[in-house]
Amino acid sequence: MAKRPWGSRFGIGRENRRARDRAVGMGSIDKYIFRTTLASFALVLVSLTGVIWITQALRGIDLMTSQGQTIVTFLGVTSLVIPALVLIISPIALMIAISHTLNKLATDSEIIVMNAAGFSPFRLFRPFFYATVVVAVMVAFIASYLAPDGMRRLKRWDAEITADVLTNILQPGRFAQLDQNLTIRIRERQPGGVLVGIFVDDRRDPKERVSIIADHGTILKNEAGSFLILEDGNLERFEIGKPDPQLVAFGRYAFDMSKFSNQGHDVTLGIRERYLWELLSPAANDPVYMQLPGQFRAELHDRFMAPIYPFAFAALTFAFLGAPRTTRQSRNFSIGSSILAVFGVRMAGFACSVVAVKSPLAPLVQYLMLAVSIGASIWIIVGGIVLEPPVAVIDAVNRSNARLLRLFGRPVAA
């Protein structure tokens, strides 16, 4: 680690740099860096979220197969987890975006030029700070409202699908006894909610017995109730006192199933489905809060710290990569160190969140860790400290590279 003043090499004193920072607004440079950072952030965020969402969505593919839901329902249910994914991915995406922008500025020697013009490191950090504020505001909104709202919608939707007799109990190849004298069997389910090979035996009316066989059918739900729409089948009715049954062939027949469609059930919301204000002041008789007060505390502090992580990651990344370097100086060490620092802070945060369920001191440790990370990074930025590997490490790497070049018969640079 070596300290390298940003302006001393170019004969620009501290007072001159401050005067230039005040006199020259450099709005165009700020806007350029701000737009580049946010554009990179959006691209990385969409890419990472899309990949992770696909892996999560594949777990719910049974909605279209075993439970006969449509592709619209499948996409609607699985997309509700996107805000929760964005909440975790956003700080990482911001770190990658800042790394990309700084590497681009360094490759084009723009950081060297701004350094020669007398811009202090903290001045260069300003547009990155503005971009971080935008990301932090977005993360705060998602953490307080959007993510829990999506999770509670997902839970209610999933409960409605799985708790409904028409989509859960009616399994292919099984005789489902919905009532004491009502039995239904289907041979198979096909995409789009089509039921094939339907048999209904209805003996609920003591005066008659109805047997229905249909080639296929679908489930229809509307304001009037839930109906099993049977197509291309036969209905056989046995009435008491009549020797012969009545046989009716039909092209379309609606069998009322409203009694067995459970859509008015109550759903108990978990901790992650609570809004921020519900975590701040839970009801005194809330059964979840009474059973799991530690998890309420841990979730509340996680929501508070969610918008702080972007600032910590941005400061750490800039502290490692924001110093001016010539094109001959390798940035690999700084890039690797910034990744390890961010990864370490995030993993420590996850560990503190787990421990916070049982220990009220764990959130304080997490707040202190973030404060130290941000404070140390700002100290490095303001002081113009260049984080570089020790000379011994550089010499060892160079010797190792030279041995590899000689092994492959290539000339070694002097």
Tokens 């209905």, residue?
A: 235
pLDDT value at residue 1: 45
Answer for the pair 48, 40: CB distance below 8 angstroms, yes or no: no
pLDDT tens, 21-77? Answer: 444 444 788 888 899 999 999 999 999 998 888 877 776 665 555 555 566 766 777
Contact 223, 263 (CB under 8 A): no
What's the token pair of residue 103? 């590497």
pLDDT at 137: 96
Query: What pLDDT sits at residue 389?
Result: 63
- Residue 4 is predicted with a pLDDT of 46
pLDDT (0 to 100) of residue 239: 85
Q: With helix as H, strand as E and coil as C, how does 196-214 read? A: EEEEEEECCCCCEEEEEEE
Buried b (16+ CB within 10 A) or exposed e, 284-295: eeeebbeebeeb
- Tokens encoding 225: 């109730």
pLDDT recorded at residue 161: 61
> Quick check: 97 and 41 in contact, CB under 8 A?
yes
3-state secondary structure of 356: coil
Beta strand extents in 42-154 (DSSP E only): none
pLDDT at 413: 53
- Put simply, whether the predicted model's pTM sits higher than 0.95 gets the answer no
CA distances from 154 to 55, 63, 150, 169, 205 (A): 17, 13, 6, 21, 39
Task: Write down the pLDDT at residue 138.
Answer: 95
Neighbours of 393 (CB within 10 A): 11
Each residue's pLDDT expressed in tens, for the chain with a length of 414 residues: 444 444 443 334 444 554 444 444 447 888 888 999 999 999 999 999 988 888 777 766 655 555 555 667 667 777 888 898 999 999 999 999 999 998 888 877 777 777 777 777 788 899 999 999 999 999 999 999 998 988 888 777 766 665 555 555 667 777 777 777 888 888 888 877 788 888 888 888 888 888 889 898 887 777 777 778 889 999 888 888 787 888 888 888 888 776 665 544 556 777 888 888 888 887 777 777 777 788 888 888 999 999 999 999 999 999 988 877 665 556 677 788 888 999 999 999 999 988 988 888 989 999 999 999 999 999 988 887 777 666 666 666 667 767 776 776 666 555
Please state, in angstroms and rounded to a whole number, the distance separating the CA atoms of residues 186 and 214: 10
Q: What is the DSSP letter of 10?
A: G
Identity of the residue numbered 185: R
Two structure tokens written together for 349: 């945060």
